[in-house]
Chains A and B, each alone.
Chain A
Amino acid sequence: MKHLLHQFDKAFENKVRLGIMSALVVNDSLDFNALKELLGVTDGNLASHLKALEKVAYIDVQKQFVGRKPNTQYAATKTGKKAFGAHLDALEALLKAQKQTQ
């Protein structure tokens, strides 16, 4: 059991970060407001988790202008998608292992 927990990605320990990645793997890119609405979190909370994911290069940040309004688009990187997949595999393996021990 313990070795399975080692495969868990530290970056995904938080629910908000897990949510961000879930949304970004099925969309080419999403902007800040779309993510905020989807996850139902505050600006500050979302911004700090986005920064954390950006730091480990799991997401890509594109700043652009729509008319005169600044708009920031977020997309999952290849590394991020791979890490997310591995995390899901680990979750699945853990649940399977728990089922067997019960």
Chain B
Amino acid sequence: MQKTDYLQDISEIRSIMERSSRFISLSGLSGVMAGIYALIGAGLAHWCLTLYRAGGLGSYRTVAGYLFLIAGVVLLLAIGTGIWLTTRRAREQGQRIWDATARRLVVHLMIPLAVGGIFALILVGQGYTGIVAPSMLIFYGLALINASKYTLTDVMYLGLAEVALGLLATIVIGYGLLFWAIGFGGLHIVYGASMYYKYER
């Protein structure tokens, strides 16, 4: 046996461990797109709020309805684009899309995220609107940290950044939309682009 054989053995072992335990087809571009949708959404929300303060757009309930509609559309677009781009990437790499690693990733992402979503709805219902955006950032960050064990490690750093931003937003309450735009818009674009350059080029 040659030295190169052993080296090849080791690199094969490493590759199998990676492929069997982590979902690595996650597309960086989907992060960039999610960030762009979030920024557009934040811009629309800001416009709605400005109109409302100027006396247009009717009651508080109507405005809240518009804001929820914007948030919902942004979320759906981001998830849809994410699934589409990731599926495309997995196909290019010849990997299966919905395998055990993908399932594990989704489950570990969704548990903290669902709790955060319900928590945010309760906050809105109770009238604590000031801490809705910070708590969404914190829960989203924790969900990312939790899921990062099952995908690219870079996701953990994005999660830590979201949590830090969420805590900061809790200290300076009243700039919810701005922090929301930075966290879901800016950070997604930065991390998505860096992952794209690192893995997909």
Contacts and interface: CB of A to CB of B under 8 A. Distances in A.
Given A15-B12, A91-B10, A94-B6, A38 B21 contact: no
A34 B95 CA distance: 12
A38 B20 contact: yes
A interface secondary structure, majority = helix
Contacts, number: 45
A95 B7 contact: yes
B19 A98 contact: no
A96 to B, nearest CB: 11
A83 interface: no
Interface stretch (A17-25, A43-51, A54-62, A64-72): A17-25
Interface in B6-21: 6-7, 9-10, 12-13, 16-17, 19-21
A95 B10 CA distance: 10
Please tell me the size bucket of the interface on B: 10 to 19
B96 interface: yes
A98 B17 contact: no
Nearest to B100: A34
B9 A18 contact: yes
B100 A19 contact: no
B53 interface: no
Interface string B95-127: 010011000000000000000000000000000
B3 interface: yes
A19 B12 CA distance: 8
A30 B13 CA distance: 16
Contacts of B13: 18-19, 22, 88
Interface of B: 3, 6-7, 9-10, 12-13, 16-17, 19-21, 96, 99-100
9 A-B pairs with least C-beta separation: A22-B16, A23-B20, A26-B21, A22-B13, A26-B17, A98-B3, A19-B16, A22-B17, A23-B16
